[in-house]
Structure 1
């Protein structure tokens, strides 16, 4: 692969687009770009306008995913597809997701500024609804992009409005009927490879003082979003321990059991994460002098190892059964959701590492503990890879602080990849 040292992504375009995105989606503290709502749509409109200036051909599929195509010098070849999502969590940061879309535009703008065109077509995609806090399902946009979304998910309610996904689609002039039929504008056989640029969501790159992460795999998960433990309410002073059915103590036992299991797995080098993101009693029933008879919680377990996820789930069920017997309570875990782990392309890892070395950009190979659209592409047998940009202060919060020089370095690696 020939490296062109003077060829780089368009830094000024990236700065301008990040600033415009932040301004139009500001929602103190942070930004909000609601999936299938006004915030996400404004972001899609902004990217569409910029792409038109760069000569992209615009298309929107039945689900509202944006596909921006730059024909290559050999337009019949399978295309590079690059991009990510534009929605955010409520009051989140400006870079999560958006970095991947802007990296694609900045890479193409850098090529055009240098008077060069890639052989293959380049399709910059902006997917919908990647952040599952809006609708309780993973990868809605990327699954619809490939015609893979189960039709029943169109009935999922949005967390803030309570209205189903299909209604939000129709409100934006989209076609939930087309989604239900599996209509798609992107056929896997027409994709040479998928590249998603994203801020790192943990501290590894910052701690190592390295700007670029090459992602080796993406964790899958199982989740219980609306789990409950049901015991019996009682007077805090009148019911002795042996007669109690205390939901808080029961869930505490479950938390401690899973934490001990996690510690054992960690010590054995088996990577996973276990999180109880919400734990709360019923505000209409709880009280200072009441034994809690109900506790609500959610559970999120992730790993890049499918077998390990199955092992943890089996242990979870065993813990639940033992605690129910011992504490006299009942667990109602509710619907199990989740996603499949994905392995990134070894060949793309090699190519990108070679480009970064020749450009003098330090890099680190690392897994992703969080889920990303690239997992859908990889599990559809499309060679896929993720580029992590060093990021300060984590993600999904208003304090994301990606340095533009790090973004520019990573986007420049992408520029060289798509030029081949």
Structure 2
């Protein structure tokens, strides 16, 4: 297979030198080169040549420099592997590029032997990633049937004679749980297919059992992510309470699963969980040929963003105020007023707690410190410092202390 390499540099003689150095590989068809003079031209070139595997780019270029181009490439779904080229004296920018996702770097003047070796190494890395993605796709296809698992309530309704009214697409109030696994992509790239299959079988099966025990509906299984609905398809007056109880049980089961596999030498990431409640478009979106009962809308998107917000705070469960207030006797502690990605208005979020943790003195101490964030930030810092001093393993308290030490205040938090 021919590897396509895009070289982005405003030095006019570089194209001639590259074509001369790699003439054998070009003639054999193993490598094809495309050239651009700056970042803007490179973006246009990628649109014309989407098969580009590798981008070699200078940092200092007119119109759009290499760092800006690297940022644009990282935003794409088909992220390209990048080799940065710059003067040795520009090591600060090279470090920035590596931190932003560049795979490797070369210094000017270019040593073409080094360039050839670096290209060979990077193309091997790209091939390894392709094989890993193929393994992941095969594993997902093997478990595709899990995305059709329904709660007992849904299965009962499907079996009912001619009564599919609840299956029709309509707006209704629901609670949504969204889960994801930290570091799953790395696990896919390193685990043997048979190990990955066993992991996903046990993991998805175990989470599904927990969901069904709370009469929830597993709407989607997408790789390592699971979407769960409550108050759909049937009415559940206590759907908010069910969703929070289910989320806590999912967390408990997933942590036990992670620890069991760690003892076997497999580093399985923690499961992050987001929960939100609100209106969504719910029903069978499969048409006449397929059955695909799921939900769409901002409520679902918000649950997914709350799941991702756990990474910022070090928590494993993050629930919105909408679902917490609907749950009645909610036991938890506030996280903050979060401005989630793509949002302008803040959303109050909480971390649900077990009864024992909720009633512990540390939770009272945290709530008191958090209240100072809203009224008197100067006294909040020593309050959080005292809490972290005793409970250094509390990631949420440590997060707020870091914010205060970095000059932040209040409870409004931008989450990106």
Task: Identify the TM-score tier after normalising by the shorter chain.
Answer: under 0.3
Q: TM-score, normalised by structure 2?
A: 0.24
Q: Which has the higher helix share?
A: 2
Larger radius of gyration: 2
What is the TM-score of this pair, normalised by structure 1?
0.24
